[in-house]
């Protein structure tokens, strides 16, 4: 049986080696955990529950079946670049255990779109079920970001239930400069033109945007052909109070320390978009309470990644189960006409 993650043995390994070992274990995982049903139809997808895996864990689409077997309602693989690229030099992944956090500067380490598409096709041909998305990325040396995103989307067309335009990783030079209304609109239109009509299109933003930038992008995204906005990616900021000696490493910080920043960014985007686009809450989510907080702040779905390292392989199942139990009263309640309904209740009722 798959050992609970993290195990003491895995944490004795350097972070990237431990991650690769976890992926090998998941390839042979017999688990097929099914939390109590909490079906959701938001952000252009249908999922068994609103708890998803964020991009960055299964970069190459190697363990989709194993991850869905942990109880996730949906998984997002990648980032995936059009052409294979090795990413940044090692070491590039750092475990901040005292802070329950990670710093990464992977730099879109990718096997390339063709390899990922072949794996997804094989998974689907073997009867693989579940909601699977692909995080779209650009090659480091490319001068045509929109073309790169569209190329990956074209490669996985008909295989992925959703694709996410990632313009927010801090580890590819110039990528975050694409977080402007003009650039995003051009990219979104290119990707939408090559995506099947039934596939959802998401955009992933960073948490380091200022309030004015969030306001502009929130209003703009509400007018674009997108189904969801992911808020947020990793941060280049370093919140006060970090204790781990690795805190000064360059790269994007994820995990518990970015919880407040990610929630603030979500609220700002939700307010600016006036609720006209579904939001996916990411960043510092570690348990069902965190997930509920993000849903109440305006998210329709939630994702996590870093918490899997510290919370273990049963975390997705436990989180989805506890959400289902806590939402049961909201699902059966019949509010009076005109009474406000919490965001998490609307998720349960979809």
The pLDDT tens digits for 123-175 are 999 999 999 999 999 999 999 999 999 999 999 999 999 999 999 999 999 99
Determine which of 52-56, 271-275, 344-348 has the lowest per-residue pLDDT on average: 344-348
Q: What is d(CA 294, CA 311) in angstroms, rounded to the nearest whole number?
A: 18
DSSP for 237-301, written as a single string: S--TT--SGGGGSSSEEEEGGGHHHHHHHHHHHHHHHTT-SEEEEESS--SHHHHHHHHHTTEEE
- Pair 232, 266: CB distance under 8 Å: yes
The strand pairing partners of 278, in sequence order, are: 228
How many Cα atoms within 13 Å fall on the side-chain side of residue 141? 6
Determine which of 5-9, 115-119, 302-306 has the lowest per-residue pLDDT on average: 5-9
Mean pLDDT across 259-288? 98
Better-predicted residue by pLDDT, 5 or 138: 138
DSSP structure class, residue 91: P
- Widest CA span in the chain: 58
Q: What is d(CA 253, CA 13) in angstroms, rounded to the nearest whole number?
A: 20
Q: How many helices and strands in the chain, by DSSP H and E?
A: 12, 13
Q: What was the pLDDT predicted at 7?
A: 59
Q: What was the pLDDT predicted at 253?
A: 98
Better-predicted residue by pLDDT, 38 or 331: 38
pLDDT tops 70 at residue 279:
yes
In the chain, % of residues over pLDDT 90: 89
pLDDT tops 90 at residue 328:
no
Q: What was the pLDDT predicted at 3?
A: 42
CB environment 35-44: b (16+ within 10 A), e (fewer): beebebebbb
pLDDT level of residue 348 (50, 70, 90 thresholds):
very low
CB environment 63-101: b (16+ within 10 A), e (fewer): bbbbbbbbbbbbbbbbbbbbbbbebbeeebbbbbeebbb
Q: Tell me how far the alpha carbon of residue 277 is from its chain's centroid.
A: 17
Burial of 336 (0-12, 13-18, 19+ CB in 10 A): exposed
Supply the pTM of this predicted model.
Answer: 0.93
- Give, for 231, the enclosing helix (H) or strand (E): strand 228-231
Average pLDDT in the chain: 92
CA distances from 299 to 153, 181, 231 (A): 25, 22, 9
Mean pLDDT across 256-268? 98
Alpha helices by DSSP H, the chain = 8-12, 15-27, 64-68, 113-125, 145-155, 181-194, 211-221, 259-273, 288-296, 306-311, 315-332, 343-349
Catalytic residue annotation: 169
């Amino acid at each position: 049986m798959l050992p609970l993650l993290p195990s003491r043995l895995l944490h004795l390994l350097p972070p990237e080696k431990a991650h690769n070992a976890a992926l090998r274990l998941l390839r042979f995982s017999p688990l097929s955990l099914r939390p109590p049903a909490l079906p959701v139809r938001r952000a252009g997808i249908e999922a068994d529950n609103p708890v998803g895996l964020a991009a960055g864990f299964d970069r190459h689409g190697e363990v989709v079946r194993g991850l869905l077997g942990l109880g996730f309602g949906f998984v997002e693989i990648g980032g995936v670049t059009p052409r294979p690229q090795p990413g940044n030099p090692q070491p590039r992944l750092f475990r901040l255990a005292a802070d329950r956090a990670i710093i990464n500067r992977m730099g879109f380490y990718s096997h390339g779109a063709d390899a990922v598409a072949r794996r997804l096709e094989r998974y689907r041909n073997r009867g693989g079920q579940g909601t699977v998305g692909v995080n779209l990325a650009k090659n480091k040396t490319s001068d045509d970001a929109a073309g790169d995103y569209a190329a990956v989307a074209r490669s996985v067309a008909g295989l992925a239930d959703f694709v996410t335009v990632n313009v927010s990783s801090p580890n590819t030079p110039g990528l975050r400069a694409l977080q402007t209304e003009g650039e995003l609109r051009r990219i979104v239109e290119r990707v939408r033109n090559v995506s099947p009509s039934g596939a959802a299109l998401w955009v992933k933003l960073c948490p380091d945007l200022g309030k004015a930038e969030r306001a502009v992008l929130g209003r703009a995204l509400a007018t674009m052909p997108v189904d969801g906005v992911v808020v947020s990616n990793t941060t280049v900021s370093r919140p006060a109070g970090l204790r781990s000696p690795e805190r000064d490493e360059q790269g994007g910080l994820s995990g518990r320390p970015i919880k407040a920043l990610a929630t603030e960014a979500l609220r700002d985007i939700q307010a600016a978009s006036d609720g006209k686009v579904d939001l996916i809450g990411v960043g510092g989510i570690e348990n069902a309470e965190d997930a509920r907080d993000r849903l109440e702040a305006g998210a329709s779905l939630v994702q996590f990644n870093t918490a899997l390292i510290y919370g273990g392989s049963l975390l997705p199942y436990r989180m989805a189960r506890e959400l289902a139990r806590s939402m049961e009263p909201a699902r059966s309640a019949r509010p009076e006409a005109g009474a406000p309904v919490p965001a998490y209740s609307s998720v349960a009722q979809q």
